[in-house]
Structure 1
């Protein structure tokens, strides 16, 4: 059951869980960036914090399947993009070649897919 008492699916719960974890990681990384420094860590923290509410909203919304898929694309992109930035500051190397550009592209695609999901919902 969802928070609203309606049946929910795993995709929605995963996105709400992701929103909470991404938000917590964003706060922790903001503190790390403030105390330890690291421009990449600060940027990753900002991206995590700005996307956390979107995951919670998508997870709680009575959205269609395309909205949930868009949210998952957004999540994968965020993890790749932010993960690469964090790896640069903490490990001194990239997560893997092209991880930030691919992650950034997935972020853009995820946001566009969210917009398209609204149009698909209007038709149904």
Structure 2
């Protein structure tokens, strides 16, 4: 699971960089693609760092993994919806962006809980 989080974070970095370039050179400002890129790029380091936090014991592993999955899923939904809308003018499904944003916030809350539930000597 730790390796998967690093790979997913790296993919977010890749996709965020590509989306930022496309927002500048293809769709232009105000389309939502720049916001999509920002969310991908802001959360890429978090997913990559989470396994290190788990290994140091600063967060409880099982809870942190669940939080990482929620963060990944939320960003994928939110950014995917914005990108699809900007590029194709289509939507994933009704309320996809708000659903993704809510799942993302839940993921951050779960990671906070993982830190609170960590062993005391870490």
2:68 to 71, 75, 78: 71
- Structure of higher RCO (CA pairs closer than 8 Å, 6+ residues apart): 2
Gaps of 5+ in 1: 1-10
What is the TM-score normalised by the length of structure 1?
Answer: 0.86
- Runs of 4+ more than 6 Å apart: none
Alpha-carbon separation, structure 1, partners of 2:119 and 2:111: 13
RMSD of equivalent CA atoms: 1.4
Alpha-carbon separation, structure 2, partners of 1:16 and 1:58: 8
2:5 aligned partner: 15
What is the TM-score normalised by the length of structure 2?
Answer: 0.88
2:38 aligned partner: 46
1:31 to 17, 21, 36: 21
**Alignment pair present for 1:92 and 2:89:** yes
Alpha-carbon separation, structure 1, partners of 2:120 and 2:79: 35
Aligned residue pairs, count: 114
TM-aligned CA deviation for residue 123 of structure 1: 5.7
1:120 aligned partner: 117
Gaps of 5+ in 2: none
